Amino acid sequence: MIEPSDVERAAWPDTTRAYVEALEEENRDLQLALQVMIDSAPRPILTPSHVSEAEVRLERMEKGRNRE
């Protein structure tokens, strides 16, 4: 096995720091892209019929639990 030279060893912290900084920058870019996707996603419009349907389902679930 060939041991790294002192010059190569001395460069490791700089190389590691540069790698970590690149990962952090990529992470920020990905987080920004995800937030843009979330913000631009269509939101469902809840109408009174949707609400009443949800209430009916909830009542059925509660009745089913009470029977058990």
pLDDT digits (tens, 9 = 90+) for 1-39: 788 888 888 888 888 999 999 999 999 999 999 999 988
| Domain of 10, in residue numbers | 6-67
Least confident of 38-42, 49-53, 57-61: 49-53
For residue 31, tell me if it sits in a domain.
yes
For the chain, how many structural domains are there in total? 1
Evaluate whether residue 1 is within a structural domain: no
> What is the rounded (10 degree) CA torsion for 21, 26, 32, 34?
-140
Q: Residue 57 pLDDT more than 70?
A: yes
Report pLDDT for 34.
Answer: 94
Cα torsion angle, 50, 55, 61, 67, sign? negative
Q: Which residues neighbour 50 within 8 Å (Cβ) at sequence distance 6 or greater?
A: 44
Distance of CA 27 to the CA centre of its chain: 11
**pTM more than 0.75:** no
State the pLDDT at residue 19: 93
